[in-house]
C-alpha cells in the first residue's frame, strides 16, 4: 500500500525521536512491501519562529491531505523560552489545540500499561502491580472546557474570567461508541468517568453513555466519579480496561495513569476523527533540557507509529511487528537513560531506533 | 470558653463517628475548663427522609448561629438508595453544596500526610515515601464549575448541556491569601495549580496569585499545571507543602493525595469562611456498608474536631492534646479494621473514641 504521512517534528527532542520512528517505519515498508511518503510541516515553537504563528493554515491543509500525521513533541522551557511571553493563542500549545479542532480529532486514545522489564520504575508498591495492568484511556478531545467560549472582562469593576464546559449528545455519543468499540477488542469493560453529582454536562454524559451501552450487551459498563477515579488509579490500576471520559478529566487522569505506569518514555497516543485519519504522538513532552544530545527515548514515538499502522492503515501485522521488536529490544536489555537500571545496556536515541528497526 | 457547635451526624457511619468525636471534645472541655454546647441539625439522606429536602433553611440558620459545625458524613449507596432516584438538587450531596454556599465556606483545607505507623498502607514504593510527606491542599470551595450557571436544553434539536467555570479576582485573592497565610505557618512553599495553557479562569488565577505572592516575600511560589500535578503527587509527594487550587481541580487532587497517603480513615478537613467560622468533617464518605456495626474509624472525625479547636476557637493547646492522643493510641498499637495490620490490637469505633478521650 501507498500511504501519505504528514510529519511534525516539532521542538526539543521532537526531531530526534521522529527520525527514529521513521527509520522503523521504513523498515516496515521494506519488509511488507509498502511505500510511505513523508511531508514535513511546522507546528509549535519552530513554526512561531519561522511563520509567527504556531500552526499555519497551509500546514493544516497539508495535514488534511495526508492519510495520517506523526508528531514528535512541541514547546520549550515555559519559564525561559520567549514563546511563552506571547499571547496564549500564539503559544506552541495553541498549534496543538488548533490541529485537533481543524482535523476533528475527537477521540484520544492513551494506553497506560506496565512493561514487565520496567516494573522497577513503577511508583506503586509491588504487591499492587503484581500481574501488571493494561488500560486504555479514551479521552474526548475537541469539546468541553478546551473549546468552549471564554472571556475575561470587568464586571462592576471586578476582573472576571469565564470558561464554558459544553457537550451535546452527538459529541458524547460518537466518543462513547469509540470507547465501546475498543472495549470489544480488549477485555470488554468500560469505566465512564464524570462528575454527575455536580455537573449538568456529566449528567448528559452519563445518560448518553447508558444509551450507547445498550448496543454493546457484552461490554460491562460502570460509572465512576472523577475524584474517585483519581484515587482508584493509585489504589488498584488493574481494575481498569477502558476509561471513557471528557476532555479535561481525560487530560488529568491520563497523565496520572501514565505516571502510575512508571514509564512515560514508553507511552504512545492516537487522536482520531470519524474516518480512519489520525494524529499519533508520544504522551511525553519535548524535554528541551536534553534536546539534541542523542539521549531521548524514541520508543513512545515508535509505538505511536505502530498505532498509526493499526488504526489508520489497518496494518495489524505490521503494527505487531513493531510492538514485538520493541519488546525484544527491552528483553535483550537495551535501555535509554530514562529507563536505565542496573545490569542493562545503555544506548542513545539513534541506536535504540536502529535496534528496533533491525528487529522488525 | 463557651462555644456553640452545630452537629450534623448525617448518614451511614456518620452518627457513630461523630459520637466519638464528641466524646473526645467533652474530654477536652473537662480538662481545659471549656463548655461546648451541641445542637443537632439534619443534612443529607436523613433530612430528605424527614423533611423532603437534603438541608432546610432552618437548619442553615441554626448552623449560622453557632461558632462552628462538626459533620460526620452524608449520602448512601448510590446504586440502591432511593435518594439517588431524586432530582439532582434534592439528593444528599445537594445539602453539602448548599451549606458550603450559604455559610460562605470558600476555603477548604485538606491535609494529606503519612503516619509513620500506617506507612504499610501507602500504595507508593517505600523509597518514594522515605522520610514521609506532609501537604495541605487549599481548595477553593464556593466558585468555579460547582456554582456556575448550568443548563440542559435542545439546541437545533440536539440535547446540549452547559456548565460554567467562572472566577473573579476577589474570589481568587481571598483563597490565595488563605493559602499563603497557612504556608507561613508551615514550610513556606505554595504550589498553585491551574490549567493556564488552556483556561482564561486559570490565567486570571495565576495573575492574582502572583499579585498576592508579593505580600509574602518569604514564601516560595511555584505554578504547576493540573495534569502535571496529578503526576507529581504519585511521583514525589514530598515536594509539596501547600497546594493552592480551584474547586474542581481541588476535588480531584485532594482525593488523589488522600489515597496516596494510604489512610483515608485518618484524614480531616476544614471548610472556612472569612471569619473564624468553619465546618469540619472527615475526608472519607459515609460507608453505608459498615454503618451501625461499630466498625468505622472515628479518627478522621476526631482530627476534624481538633482542626475546629485550632482554626475556629484558637485553642491550639487543646488541639495539640487531641493530635497527640491520636498519635499515642496509634503508637500503642490500637487499630480499627480499615488500618489494621499484623501484631496490632483491633478495636471498634467506640473503643477507639474512648482510648483517644482517655489520653487527652
Ligand atoms: C499542551 C496541552 C494543551 C495538552 C492538553 O491539555 O490537552 C497536553 O497536556 C495534552 O494532554 O495533550
Ligand atoms: C459529594 C461531592 C459533591 C463533594 C465535592 O465534589 O465537593 C465531595 O466529593 C467532596 O470532595 O467534598
- The answer to whether the CB of B198 is under 6 A from ligand 1 is yes
Q: How confident is the model at residue B79, as a pLDDT?
A: 85
Phi-psi region of B2 (alpha: psi -120 to 50; beta: other; left: phi over 0): beta
Q: How confident is the model at residue B116, as a pLDDT?
A: 87
Specify whether A331 is located in the same domain as A297: yes
Mean pLDDT of chain A: 97
Specify whether B253 is located in the same domain as B267: no
Chain A nearest-CA distance from B302, in A, is: 23
First-residue to last-residue Cα distance in chain A: 18
Domain contains A113: no
Domain contains B38: yes
Q: List pLDDT tens digits, range B19-29.
A: 999 999 999 99
Percent of chain B past pLDDT 90, that is, above it, reads 96
Strand partners, B192: B223, B244
Mean pLDDT of chain B: 97
Query: What's the whole-number mean pLDDT along residues A276-289?
Result: 96
Query: What's the whole-number mean pLDDT along residues B301-314?
Result: 97
Q: How confident is the model at residue A185, as a pLDDT?
A: 93
Q: What angle do CA B284, B288, B291 make, to 5 degrees?
A: 100
Decide the pairing of beta strands B220-225 and B158-168: unpaired
Interchain contact, B160 vs A150, CB within 8 Å = no
Specify whether A10 is located in the same domain as A74: yes
Specify whether A234 is located in the same domain as A278: no
Specify whether A192 is located in the same domain as A225: yes
Res. A178: pLDDT tops 90: yes
Measured CA distances, B9 to A42, A224, A273, B47, B266 (Å): 60, 26, 50, 11, 18
What is d(CA A158, CA B224) in angstroms, rounded to the nearest whole number? 25
Domain contains A211: yes
Specify whether A337 is located in the same domain as A281: yes
Q: How confident is the model at residue B293, as a pLDDT?
A: 97
Q: How confident is the model at residue B8, as a pLDDT?
A: 98
What is d(CA B22, CA B189) in angstroms, rounded to the nearest whole number? 34
Q: How confident is the model at residue B263, as a pLDDT?
A: 85
Number of domains comprising chain B: 2
Domain contains A307: yes
Q: Looking at chain A, which residue has its C-alpha nearest residue B254?
A: A227
Q: Could you write out the three-class secondary structure of B227-259?
A: HHHHHHHHHCHHHCCEEEECHHHHHHHHHHHHH
Specify whether B204 is located in the same domain as B290: no
Interchain contact, B163 vs A201, CB within 8 Å = yes
Q: How confident is the model at residue A314, as a pLDDT?
A: 96
Specify whether B38 is located in the same domain as B105: yes
Specify whether B128 is located in the same domain as B254: yes
Q: How confident is the model at residue A42, as a pLDDT?
A: 98
Q: How confident is the model at residue A116, as a pLDDT?
A: 87
Q: Of B196, B229, B261, which residue constitutes the final position of a domain? A: B261
Q: How confident is the model at residue A241, as a pLDDT?
A: 98
Specify whether B133 is located in the same domain as B244: yes
Res. B258: pLDDT tops 90: yes
What is d(CA B237, CA B258) in angstroms, rounded to the nearest whole number? 11
Q: How confident is the model at residue B92, as a pLDDT?
A: 96
Q: Name which residue sits closest to atom 9 of ligand 2, judged by CA.
A: B251
Q: How confident is the model at residue A86, as a pLDDT?
A: 93
Query: Are the beta carbons of A141 and A108 closer than 8 angstroms?
Result: yes
Interchain contact, A252 vs B252, CB within 8 Å = yes
Specify whether A230 is located in the same domain as A269: no
Res. B229: pLDDT tops 90: yes
In which residue are the cell numbers 487531641 written?
B322
What CATH number does the domain containing A325 carry? 3.40.718.10
Q: How confident is the model at residue B61, as a pLDDT?
A: 98
Q: Name which residue sits closest to atom 2 of ligand 1, judged by CA.
A: A93
Query: What's the whole-number mean pLDDT along residues A32-36?
Result: 98
Q: Give me A302's grid cell.
A: 515508535
Domain contains B290: yes
Res. A263: pLDDT tops 90: no
Q: Name which residue sits closest to atom 8 of ligand 1, judged by CA.
A: A251
Q: Which range marks the domain in which residue B233 is found?
A: 123-261
Q: How confident is the model at residue A49, as a pLDDT?
A: 97
Q: Which of A197, A198, A252 lies nearest to residue B230, judging by beta carbons?
A: A252
Q: Of B205, B230, B261, which residue constitutes the final position of a domain? A: B261
Domain contains A114: no
Q: List pLDDT tens digits, range A319-356.
A: 999 999 999 999 999 999 999 999 999 999 999 999 99
pLDDT band at B133 (very low <50, low <70, confident <90, very high): very high
Amino acid at each position: 500500500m501507498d500511504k501519505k504521512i504528514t510529519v511534525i517534528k516539532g521542538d526539543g527532542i521532537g526531531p530526534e525521536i521522529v527520525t527514529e520512528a521513521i527509520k522503523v517505519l521504513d523498515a516496515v515498508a521494506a519488509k511488507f512491501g509498502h511505500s510511505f511518503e513523508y511531508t514535513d510541516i511546522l507546528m509549535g515553537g519552530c513554526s512561531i519562529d519561522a511563520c509567527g504563528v504556531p500552526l499555519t493554515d497551509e500546514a493544516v491543509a497539508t495535514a488534511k491531505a495526508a492519510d495520517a500525521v506523526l508528531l514528535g513533541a512541541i514547546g520549550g522551557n515555559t519559564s525561559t523560552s520567549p514563546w511563552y511571553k506571547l499571547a496564549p493563542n500564539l503559544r506552541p500549545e495553541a498549534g496543538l489545540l488548533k490541529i485537533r479542532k481543524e482535523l476533528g480529532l475527537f477521540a484520544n486514545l492513551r494506553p497506560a500499561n506496565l512493561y514487565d522489564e520496567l516494573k522497577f520504575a513503577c511508583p506503586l508498591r509491588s504487591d499492587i502491580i503484581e500481574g501488571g495492568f493494561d488500560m486504555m484511556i479514551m479521552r474526548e478531545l475537541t469539546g468541553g472546557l478546551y473549546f468552549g467560549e471564554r472571556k475575561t472582562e470587568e464586571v462592576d469593576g471586578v476582573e472576571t474570567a469565564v470558561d464554558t464546559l459544553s457537550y451535546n449528545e452527538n459529541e458524547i455519543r460518537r466518543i462513547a461508541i469509540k470507547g465501546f468499540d475498543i472495549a470489544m477488542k480488549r477485555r470488554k469493560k468500560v469505566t465512564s468517568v464524570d462528575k454527575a453529582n455536580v455537573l449538568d454536562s456529566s449528567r448528559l454524559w452519563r445518560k448518553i453513555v447508558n444509551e450507547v451501552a445498550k448496543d454493546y450487551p457484552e461490554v460491562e459498563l460502570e460509572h465512576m466519579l472523577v475524584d474517585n477515579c483519581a484515587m482508584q488509579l493509585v489504589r488498584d490500576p488493574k481494575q481498569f480496561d477502558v476509561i471513557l471520559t471528557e476532555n479535561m478529566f481525560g487530560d488529568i487522569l491520563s497523565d496520572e495513569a501514565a505516571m502510575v505506569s512508571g514509564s512515560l518514555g514508553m507511552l504512545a497516543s492516537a487522536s482520531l476523527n470519524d474516518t480512519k485519519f489520525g494524529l499519533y504522538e508520544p504522551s511525553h513532552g519535548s524535554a528541551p533540557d536534553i534536546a539534541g544530545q542523542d539521549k531521548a527515548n524514541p520508543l513512545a514515538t515508535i509505538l505511536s507509529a505502530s498505532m498509526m499502522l493499526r488504526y489508520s492503515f489497518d496494518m495489524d501485522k505490521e503494527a505487531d511487528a513493531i510492538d514485538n521488536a520493541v519488546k525484544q529490544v527491552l528483553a535483550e536489555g537495551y535501555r535509554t537513560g530514562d529507563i536505565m537500571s542496573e545490569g542493562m545496556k545503555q544506548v542513545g536515541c539513534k541506536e535504540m531506533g536502529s535496534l528496533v528497526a533491525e528487529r522488525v
